[in-house]
Structure 1
Amino acid sequence: MKWKSKIIIAAAIVLVAANLYLLLKDNSKVARSFYISEWTTAKVQNLRETMKTEGVTTPLEEQQVYFDERKGSFEGFLVKKGQEVQSGKTLFYYSTETYEDAIAVLESERDSLENQLDALEDKWDDLKDLDYKATRSVLDDELLINDYSVEIDLYQTEVEISRLESEIEKYDEQIDSIDRKMPHLEETSDIDGVVKNMNEDLSNPIITIVSKESMVKGMLSGDEQADIEPGMEVTVSLKNKDKTYKGTIQEVSIFPEDEPNVKMKSQYPFTVVLDKQVENLAHGTPVEVKITKDEVKNAITAPFSSMEKDGKTNWVYTLENGKVQRQKVTTGLHVNSVQQIKKGLKKGDTLAMAPQQVTKGTPTFYTPMQLDKWEKTMYKNLRKKELLKQTGKGFLSF
């Protein structure tokens, strides 16, 4: 039996030596085979990059009503704190006594001017009659002098009448102006809501009204503020509850909440408007906010761990027809462990889960035997010659 053992050992040595020669030889056409334990396929997925933060519900609208001393003295409130009001509801009104007194004074002065005007108009009529009679009489020196005097008096009377008419017109305009203000000597609500606060000492704002509808307010760090924009979609959820509500970023402030301080990180307010209002949601309720920063639908994707970065170029290793191919790809959105592939892969392409050390050529690969998928029917129609050929390839690939 010794000679048989020697033959087997010799054959094995020759086989290993031949494989080593072919693998290590410069410009060898035989490439190293790779053992690939895990692989996957390029998939089509909807990718969404989100950011989580916290917020609190606040009134959607707020109206602050001010008392204006120029309109008159305060007459009285018509609402109470906590009262629900509708748009257009009168909240308080001013005293009209000052305006009524002013109108009375203006009307008295206007009436005096009108009396003067009536007297001047009567004088003008008399002068006009004298001027007419003078032109019909015989002309002499004395009559001519009297005629000139009448004409001068007529002219002066006409000037005075014009002045009085202008003065009366100004008084009418002032009276009309006050009359127009009279219906506005009250303050009304611009929104539907609830009276949140009232200052009976007349300090401003004298009344604050808030809407029953809610929005969400939160804070962002400086880095977060740079990434969040109005119009981004938001999902809001109440803490310790499963139900969620859709909304949209309404505003992201460029000004920090507090005065900037080099020793503290600035916080920037943002607001969210809900698509549908939540009934019986108290203002000040804490909520969780998930902001969608970016979204790509029907994206071709691959595991981020399968990517190899070489400078600015990204690569994956595709598996096709028993060969490993280093494939250049263009990447897009990266979310957690998933990478969008804009160019270089198509749906269903097989690729290694981890980068391989392929420096040239298109080497072969082999994978672990999966006995759970072994089926005898797979090999019934396989000829013995083909079976030996495939077994030999597998042996040579080590």
Structure 2
Amino acid sequence: MDHSKKWITAGILGLLFVGINLYFIKQDLLLIDRTSIVHDQTTAQTEDLQEILVKDGVIHTATEQHVYFSEQLGMFTRFLVEEGQVITSGTPLYEYDVVDLEEQRLLFDSEAEQIRSEINAVESYISELETLERQLSDATISSSSADANPTSSLDDQELLLNIELEVGIDISDATIDQTRSLLNQQIGEQEASVGRLEAQEAKFKSLSEGLEESPTVQVESDFNGKIAHLSEGVENPLITIYSDNLASQILLTDEEALTVLAGMKTSVTSPVAKSTVNGAVVANPQLPEQEPTTEEKSLYSVDVDLQEPGPEWFIGQHVVNEIVTDEALGATTVPSISLDEKRLYTLTPTGMIQPRIVDLGLRVEDRQEVYSNIEPAEWLVIDPLQVERFNSAYITPMTVDRLTTDNLGTLGKRSSWKHVLLGVLPKY
């Protein structure tokens, strides 16, 4: 056979070899073994995920109170406060001269009588609560020792129903101690309410008696806060009072108004105050700030209550709000790019690639919550395209810079010889 025929024969054999292998690869992946080279791998992590909506806002008062004046009471004379003045409950706000002393006296007496009726109603409610508290103590004492455990639930269903009706809270799962604490808390709140009502009653009685000496009446504030505005005339509202509590006012789009809910945690940062405070969304009534039109998109005003802002925080500051619209605390997470739809490829200790179908939760940027079929610290493939075939072997590239003599000391002699023999002995 001459030289040219040898080359032709070798070429035909080479093409046949390549063609058969390409056929196997193309037509039936089960006829050949494939080993995936995994360049990028990581472990599932445990972390807190938060979906954040960032909105600009402006500091405003949390509540705005208005004081009104009726000319039927008499003739307005003068303000006793100034704009920007800090006031407390009981601070004199303005004066007016009474025109009809007898009518004004009857009005004050009527207010005092109405408040007295409210006091009697609250005191009657307190008596009912105290009766229930005594019945609860009697039921605890008369029950068996096991049932008398303060951490156990109340078995007297009739008493339980009466307590729920009075306090307006479901206590079916509450312990005896929790029920007693709830009753005592309610009693304390009502007693404080009686104190406030008695102070108002005394104020109107004093005003009625003062008319005998002078026709001039001083109107006092029922609120704490700061005087925001005084009417130039006698137009109502006569006085506007901002409360001490501050809020951040933000505007939401249509889509954001569906997402933001009352009670959502918020972090509010002020560049002026150079600090950040916690807050919470007060409410989202989903009412447009202005009359809606077809030409412009609607915006919806929402307030975020601020928790303990410092003295450097004041009305008018522009702030940045970070509203937590969703969160997953202590979640098992993986890189979002490691998912092939709902499939992950994990790396087993035996050197195999194992697919896992997982359930997905919250996704935040490049991190995805996975709440089934994988545990933290399990290894997985970052790029699914590096997987040639699952349920098959994988290798990782050699890291040359780690092949140093310093690393030899990390293995014992037995382990070192084991790896040497595995590398040189044939496998059958």
Q: In the alignment, what sits opposite 2:190?
A: none
Cα separation, 1, equivalents of 2:105 and 2:59 = 50
Query: What is the one-letter code of the residue matched to 1:296?
Result: A
Assess if the C-alpha contact under 8 Å between 1:55 and 1:288 holds in 2.
yes
- Say if 2:392 is the partner of 1:363: yes
1:306-350 deviations in whole A, cap 9, x for unaligned? 0111xxxx1111111222222101110101000001001111111
Q: In the alignment, what sits opposite 1:125?
A: none
| TM-align CA RMSD | 3.5
TM-score (norm 2): 0.63
Cα separation, 2, equivalents of 1:388 and 1:93 = 105
Q: In the alignment, what sits opposite 2:262?
A: 230
Please give the secondary structure, in 2, of the residue aligned with 1:386.
helix
Which of 52, 70, 73 is the equivalent residue of 1:71?
73
Q: In the alignment, what sits opposite 1:347?
A: 376
Residues 215-254 of structure 1 correspond to what in structure 2 (within 5 A)?
215-239=247-271, 242-254=274-286
Superposed displacement of residue 246, structure 1: 0.8
Which of 42, 60, 64 is the equivalent residue of 2:44?
42
Superposed displacement of residue 74, structure 1: 2.2
- Say if 2:341 is the partner of 1:286: no
- Say if 2:351 is the partner of 1:322: yes
Q: In the alignment, what sits opposite 1:387?
A: 423
Assess if the C-alpha contact under 8 Å between 2:225 and 2:241 holds in 1.
yes
1:357-389 deviations in whole A, cap 9, x for unaligned? 869761222221111222452684236541035
Q: Which moved more, 1:294-303 or 1:378-387?
A: 378-387
Count residues with an aligned counterpart: 308
Residues 10-89 of structure 1 correspond to what in structure 2 (within 5 A)?
26=28, 28=30, 30-89=32-91
Query: What is the one-letter code of the residue matched to 2:293?
Result: N
Please give the secondary structure, in 1, of the residue aligned with 2:261.
coil
Distance 1:277 1:360, change over 3 A: closer
Superposed displacement of residue 61, structure 1: 2.7
- The sequence identity of aligned pairs, in percent, is 27
Cα separation, 1, equivalents of 2:29 and 2:105 = 111
Query: What is the one-letter code of the residue matched to 1:349?
Result: E
1:148-187 deviations in whole A, cap 9, x for unaligned? xxxxxxxxxxxxxxxxxxxxxxxxxxxxxx9998479553
Superposed displacement of residue 70, structure 1: 2.6
Q: In the alignment, what sits opposite 1:193?
A: 225
Assess if the C-alpha contact under 8 Å between 2:36 and 2:388 holds in 1.
no
Query: What is the one-letter code of the residue matched to 2:94?
Result: F
Residues 45-194 of structure 1 correspond to what in structure 2 (within 5 A)?
45-100=47-102, 182=208, 186-194=218-226
Please give the secondary structure, in 2, of the residue aligned with 1:387.
helix
1:100-124 deviations in whole A, cap 9, x for unaligned? 48989xxxxxxxxxxxxxxxxxxxx
Query: What is the one-letter code of the residue matched to 1:38?
Result: D
Assess if the C-alpha contact under 8 Å between 1:233 and 1:248 holds in 2.
yes
Cα separation, 1, equivalents of 2:77 and 2:65 = 21
Q: Which moved more, 1:14-23 or 1:344-353?
A: 14-23
Q: Which moved more, 1:287-296 or 1:273-282?
A: 273-282
Please give the secondary structure, in 2, of the residue aligned with 1:70.
coil
Distance 1:280 1:256, change over 3 A: same
Query: What is the one-letter code of the residue matched to 2:292?
Result: P
Assess if the C-alpha contact under 8 Å between 1:301 and 1:338 holds in 2.
yes
Query: What is the one-letter code of the residue matched to 1:207?
Result: I
Cα separation, 1, equivalents of 2:302 and 2:77 = 40
5+ residue gaps, structure 2: 1-6, 107-203, 212-216
Assess if the C-alpha contact under 8 Å between 1:62 and 1:211 holds in 2.
yes
Query: What is the one-letter code of the residue matched to 2:50?
Result: R
Q: In the alignment, what sits opposite 1:332?
A: 361
Assess if the C-alpha contact under 8 Å between 1:23 and 1:32 holds in 2.
no
Which of 272, 275, 279 is the equivalent residue of 2:304?
272
Query: What is the one-letter code of the residue matched to 1:289?
Result: N
Which of 300, 304, 310 is the equivalent residue of 2:336?
304
Q: Which moved more, 1:179-188 or 1:77-86?
A: 179-188
Please give the secondary structure, in 1, of the residue aligned with 2:256.
helix
Distance 1:381 1:326, change over 3 A: same
Assess if the C-alpha contact under 8 Å between 2:73 and 2:104 holds in 1.
no
Superposed displacement of residue 271, structure 1: 0.6
Q: Which moved more, 1:183-192 or 1:298-307?
A: 183-192
Assess if the C-alpha contact under 8 Å between 1:317 and 1:356 holds in 2.
no
Cα separation, 2, equivalents of 1:279 and 1:249 = 22
Cα separation, 1, equivalents of 2:41 and 2:359 = 20
Q: In the alignment, what sits opposite 1:255?
A: 287
